[in-house]
Amino acid sequence: MTSDYEAESIKVLEGLEPVRQVPGMFLGETDNGEALHRCVWEVVDNAVDEHLAGFNDAIDVIIHKNGSVTVIDHGRGIPVGIHPDYGISAATLIMTKLHAGGKFDNSLYKVSGGLHGVGVSAVNAVSEWLRMEIRKDGELWSQTFKEGVPDADIAVVGKEEGSGTSITFKPDVQFFSNVLDFDFEQLDQRLKETAFLNGGLMITLTDERDDSRDMVVHQYDGGISEFVGQVAERNTLIHPEVIHFSGEKEDSDEKVVEVDVALLWTDAFTERIFCYTNIIRNRDGGTHLSGMRGSLTRTINSYGQSRNLLKKVGKLSGDDVREGLAAVISVKHPDPSFSSQAKDKLVTSEVQGIVESIINEKLGEYLEENPTVARAIISKASLASTAREAARKARELTRRKGVLEGGGLPGKLADCQERDPAKCEIFVVEGDSAGGSAKTGRDRKTQAILPLRGKILNVERQQRNEAKVFQNNEIMTMIKAFGAGVDHWTGASITSDDDDDDEEVDDASFDTDKLRYHKIIIMTDADVDGAHIRTLILTFLWRHMRPAVIGGYIYIAQPPLYQVSRGKQSAYAYSDGERDEKIKELRGDNPNAKVNISRYKGLGEMNPEQLWETTMDPATRTMLRVTVDDATAANELFTTLMGEDVAERRQFIDKNAAEVTNLDI
């Protein structure tokens, strides 16, 4: 390696080359589908900006069979004239230069959701090819790009009435883990949210890959009130109508910030809050969420105390107030700031105070004018407070008995020798038989084994009886083994803004810094019972050790489903498809050769060497890391699958049954 570091060592990446060099910096994670779908969002957001500017009432999205996507708007059409400074068409400039576009001119767009001129050019940069068609002044203009470079100058290719822009692009597989698999459900959900946030805008989605799937149309005149109503439709409402209000205030630069809020309390135990800035979903919340949380807590406490409605509980916490809340907060800001290019978190500091001020005023007025609704909300929050206090006392009693403190590890735990948590992993194993094989076959230096007996308690059904959770032996064994404590039942959506001014810190809360292992690996049998046990464990972790899930400390082991052998040759298969491939390989030139197939249903069927070789050896094993893209969606899923509503669970199963593979009946 040369140590020369001279002037010529400095490289300047021109045009779209920065995006092609580090696409993740501009579009998000490229290995999990985030960046692939963000390409669609960036083009759609430009079409939405035309709607916000008052020039577009419809957007069409089409997924083609060849892996390309088309987004059509009916706005003004991208300008095609020659740019005075660059000597090329403005449309070409927008597609080939970063930070080029109309979003920097507030006279053109009051607010916008696109990536300030980076978005569509970034999509062009990571596309194998992109075709732009512009309808303007009775003419149809067209230009095609390959790997971000124009094939030729933009030109008129025909006559066409109306106006608007059509972008068709095929992402380059080299930037997306060699997979172009657009998720219809993900696209549909995001487009549905976009239509809700833009009352009256019609958005259609067509999937040409599936002939049986009809075009989906989203158009909601009720806006975010209708959105919240649909979010809460599966629950019993605490009050009959959505609380909807909006307001606007100037920031210190005299820029107008608009705030739109819809609230609806239900009998649910979770909160579901959706945050948006300029129609873009902020999955990690931000300053608008912080402002909303703080103002809800203060306004409702203030009302309750002034009416002497909080005699039994004294003061409501933020968690109490938000339990069962379905809400949308949408902010429009001329120049918002985000924590990253992906815009998952709003960080414009002044927004927090603006949101607080508007909600304090508008919600305060609403409660004064609707005392019956106010009393219903406070009654719900008071019940949550009482239950939370009972759970706190149960944890305190448990802690006094030493279960949540250090005081020795569970006897069934086979610990590892290493003491650096970053190098340690623990296998949570179903059954003593599998636990015995795992203990014998493991690497004792870094691998700990914790066998569990049977199915643990379904904590999803114990929100009002947490004391029962701490009486479950297997759950207590996990708490002691992991060493990081336990949270009370976590029904709220987790974002990086989970604090508000009125929260009290629970000294029994889960602390990832105290985790004894940085890999918690759930290892269960490859059958229906094993899947159920795995789901029960995941439910407990989500509800009582959520920071471990959010932090990426949880893994799922993948034991093989089959062993196929011919003579002295054998191989393991982890799916039916892989089994068939292994059979072909073992038969070789003799298609009729006898191949023995063993179906593993229990880990206990494997001897220690097999379990190590197939499932535990870091050099050869396959594991799934549990990640959370959307905490609100995860909450909904756990509630649906593990909660009390049988009809809702049946509906979920009916809808998704066709996607299940390797099901043992």
> Does the annotation count 396 as an active-site position?
no
CA angle 398, 628, 502 (to 5 degrees): 55
CA angle 511, 514, 518 (to 5 degrees): 100
- 3 state SS of 127: strand
- 3 state SS of 220: coil
DSSP 8-state class, residue 2: -
- 3 state SS of 651: helix
As a whole number of angstroms, the distance between CA 156 and CA 142 comes to: 6
Identify which of 374, 440, 439 has the alpha carbon closest to the alpha carbon of residue 413: 439
The helix (H) or strand (E) run that includes residue 597 is strand 596-599
Per DSSP bridges, beta strands 519-523 and 425-430 are parallel
> Does the annotation count 525 as an active-site position?
yes
Identify which of 256, 343, 247 has the alpha carbon closest to the alpha carbon of residue 38: 343
For tokens 């191989």, the residue is: 571
Within 8 A by CB and 6+ apart from 239, the residues are 264, 265, 370, 372, 373, 376, 377
DSSP 8-state class, residue 138: T
For residues 517-543, one letter each, b for 16 or more C-beta atoms within 10 angstroms of the residue's C-beta and e for the rest, the string is bbbbbbbbbbbebbeebbbbbbbbbbb
> Does the annotation count 4 as an active-site position?
no
Task: Give the relative orientation of helices 631-642 and 528-544 as an angle to the nearest 10 degrees.
Answer: 130
- 3 state SS of 664: coil
DSSP 8-state class, residue 286: B
Catalytic residue among 271, 323, 415, 430: 430
Within 8 A by CB and 6+ apart from 194, the residues are 44, 48, 201, 203, 218, 279
271's tokens: 């909160």
Per DSSP bridges, beta strands 425-430 and 447-452 are parallel
Extract the runs of DSSP E, i.e. beta strands, from 456-595: 519-523, 554-557, 562-566, 569-573
How would you classify residue 603: left for phi > 0, otherwise alpha for psi between -120 and 50, otherwise beta?
alpha
Give the Cβ contact number of residue 266 at 10 Å.
22
10 Å CB burial of residue 549 (0-12, 13-18, 19+) is: buried
Helices and strands, counts by H and E, the chain: 20, 22
Strands laid side by side in the 243-250 sheet:
243-250, 256-265, 325-332, 272-277, 280-281
Catalytic residue among 226, 527, 630, 648: 527
Contact (CB, 8 A) for 571 and 561: no
As a whole number of angstroms, the distance between CA 571 and CA 620 comes to: 13
Catalytic residue among 193, 207, 525, 636: 525
3's tokens: 């140590």
As a whole number of angstroms, the distance between CA 76 and CA 50 comes to: 7
Determine the length of the chain.
665
> Does the annotation count 645 as an active-site position?
no
Per DSSP bridges, beta strands 447-452 and 623-625 are unpaired
Catalytic residue among 139, 160, 529, 630: 529
Contact (CB, 8 A) for 228 and 345: no
Task: Give the relative orientation of helices 349-369 and 287-306 as an angle to the nearest 10 degrees.
Answer: 30
As a whole number of angstroms, the distance between CA 616 and CA 438 comes to: 8
Could you give the residue numbers annotated as active site?
Answer: 430, 525, 527, 529
